[in-house]
Amino acid sequence: MSLRAPNLESAATINPDGSRRFIHPATPRGVFSALRSVTGVLLLGVYAALPWIPINGYPAVFLDIANRRFHLFGLTLVMQDLWLGFFLITGTGFGLFYLTALLGRVWCGWVCPQTVFLDVVRRIERLIEGDAPKRRRLDAMPWTGVKTLQRGLKQVLFALFALALAHVFLSYFVSLPLLWKMMLDSPLEHWSAFLFVFAMSAALWFDFAWFREQFCIVLCPYGRLQSVLMDNDTITVGYDAARGEPRGKKGTPGARDCVDCFRCVQVCPTGIDIRQGAQIECIACAACVDACNEVMVKLDRPTGLVRYDSANGFAGRKTRLIRPRTIVYSVLLLIGASVGAFSVSTFQMASVTVSRMIGEPYILSSAGVRNQHLLRIINKQNAPEVFQVRLRGAVGMTSSGAEELVATPPLGEAIRPLIATVPRAQFQPGQPITVLVDSSDGRFHAEQQVPFLGPNSP
């Protein structure tokens, strides 16, 4: 399929009859493309390596859903600690807001998994089918043996890449040894994991084989959000119209620096023409910057006709990095980071809950008023721990289950009944009891007050 000049009235990836127009971006060469390749390799390396790196006896990131334990870089969180996820989610959100206000869609063009994966996919495609003109010619060709072989091999490699990504993703949840066992066992023995990997691989393969840039153009919510987060001081990829227009082939009288070579369009992975201004399809990958710089160097003209700059910068005005929205985002990020850091610094090695046993709220006997609770201690360390349990309450109170040592296994829990009896004469409605739990090494101390119920309790 031949190249068509993009316009602002229709999507470059949709034909006039509404069918999908498959684009074949040319390969950009330059500083930004090289840096993006290095970034992509590093990110894929980190993604593949995290389940292999042991910290405190567990992978660096291991989301052990089966046992409701989440191991993150040596820190073990249990379900009760999930409120910390609030800081992770809001921090990521405000971080992206901040980044977008400053640098536009730098996330999309440089670190988004979709972009990183598609870079690998395009490399595979280039390896098998050749450069962009060759791929376009292959598209237009009738189905021959060679075309079938090339297309088949490409799809097999896409599927293998998708399978590898899905298996690595699963290892974040089941650990590598279990993943390896699952791969050797029959799928029926781990059918839910098998279905998960199958569905994820199929979705990725569909993305690689057909959907591609459509994800960024029509599906990604962040792409839609960017327009309200950017302003005239946001630095993003743009075209210096003042320097480039009127455009014209080299030697055209009156033409300025843009020689209308379309190289910036040919390399664009979303098929747009950056010279038509900021567009929602632009993922700020800077491929057009490299492409145009290459042309400018060949023409012996200054580079930067297409460059990273702000709308103000392109208009010859000063770019303000410090402005109301970046100040607000900075303050919000700082507050969030401070509270999050404080929360992690006060992170406890164990958690204690005391709950009332099911049944009568209290029991009257000749010994007095009796209340029955359940004590649950979760040891969040990867080592056994012994806890001293004590109970404090009304004068004359007797108890069982307290004044005991409670042993817990590594990352395990212990549940004990706590039964307290207060003589009738000493019982005062509304007076609570206090459960105290201390670790044997004194690093952990928790106190919990629970109501002690009896006749005429409020």
What residue ranges bind ligand SF4 (CB under 6 A)? 237, 239, 244, 258-264, 267-270, 272, 274-275, 282-288, 291-292, 295, 305-306
Report whether 31 contacts 104 (CB < 8 A).
Answer: no
Please choose, from the candidates 247, 251, 164, 253, the residue with its C-alpha nearest in 3D space to the C-alpha of residue 200. 164
Count CB atoms within 10 A of the CB of residue 101.
22
Work out how close the CB of 26 gets to ligand SF4 at its nearest, in angstroms, rounded to a whole number.
10
Report whether 20 contacts 12 (CB < 8 A).
Answer: no
Nearest to ligand SF4 of 35, 79 (CB atom): 35
Q: Which residues have CB under 8 Å from 403's CB, separation 6+?
A: 389, 390, 391
Report whether 410 contacts 379 (CB < 8 A).
Answer: yes
Work out how close the CB of 128 gets to ligand SF4 at its nearest, in angstroms, rounded to a whole number.
23
Nearest to ligand SF4 of 78, 218 (CB atom): 218
- Compute the C-alpha angle 155/158/159, nearest 5°: 85
Q: What is the DSSP code string of 420-441?
A: EEE-TTT--TT--EEEEEEETT
Nearest to ligand SF4 of 60, 289 (CB atom): 289
Work out how close the CB of 334 gets to ligand SF4 at its nearest, in angstroms, rounded to a whole number.
31
Work out how close the CB of 104 gets to ligand SF4 at its nearest, in angstroms, rounded to a whole number.
9
Nearest to ligand SF4 of 196, 308 (CB atom): 308
Work out how close the CB of 283 gets to ligand SF4 at its nearest, in angstroms, rounded to a whole number.
5
Work out how close the CB of 308 gets to ligand SF4 at its nearest, in angstroms, rounded to a whole number.
9
Nearest to ligand SF4 of 306, 411 (CB atom): 306
Nearest to ligand SF4 of 102, 291 (CB atom): 291
Rounded to whole angstroms, how far apart are CA atoms 29 and 287?
Answer: 8
Please choose, from the candidates 390, 384, 398, the residue with its C-alpha nearest in 3D space to the C-alpha of residue 446. 390
Nearest to ligand SF4 of 279, 382 (CB atom): 279
Work out how close the CB of 284 gets to ligand SF4 at its nearest, in angstroms, rounded to a whole number.
5
For residue 416, give both structure tokens: 């004990």
Work out how close the CB of 245 gets to ligand SF4 at its nearest, in angstroms, rounded to a whole number.
10
Question: Tokens 């059918």 — which residue?
Answer: 191
Q: DSSP assignment, residue 28?
A: P
Report whether 59 contacts 68 (CB < 8 A).
Answer: no
Nearest to ligand SF4 of 235, 305 (CB atom): 305
Report whether 285 contacts 109 (CB < 8 A).
Answer: yes
Nearest to ligand SF4 of 60, 106 (CB atom): 106
For residue 448, give both structure tokens: 């919990």
Rounded to whole angstroms, how far apart are CA atoms 101 and 231?
Answer: 7
Nearest to ligand SF4 of 263, 380 (CB atom): 263
Nearest to ligand SF4 of 40, 336 (CB atom): 40
Phi, psi of 178 (to 5 degrees): -70, -35
Work out how close the CB of 243 gets to ligand SF4 at its nearest, in angstroms, rounded to a whole number.
10
Work out how close the CB of 296 gets to ligand SF4 at its nearest, in angstroms, rounded to a whole number.
7
Q: What is the DSSP code string of 161-218?
A: HHHHHHHHHHHHHH-HHHHHHHHHS-GGGGHHHHHHHHHHHHHHHHIIIIITTHIIII
Work out how close the CB of 1 gets to ligand SF4 at its nearest, in angstroms, rounded to a whole number.
18
Which amino acid is it at 105?
R
Work out how close the CB of 304 gets to ligand SF4 at its nearest, in angstroms, rounded to a whole number.
10
**CA-based end-to-end distance of the chain:** 81
Nearest to ligand SF4 of 194, 262 (CB atom): 262
Rounded to whole angstroms, how far apart are CA atoms 190 and 183?
Answer: 9
Rounded to whole angstroms, how far apart are CA atoms 9 and 142?
Answer: 32
Please choose, from the candidates 438, 452, 441, the residue with its C-alpha nearest in 3D space to the C-alpha of residue 399. 452
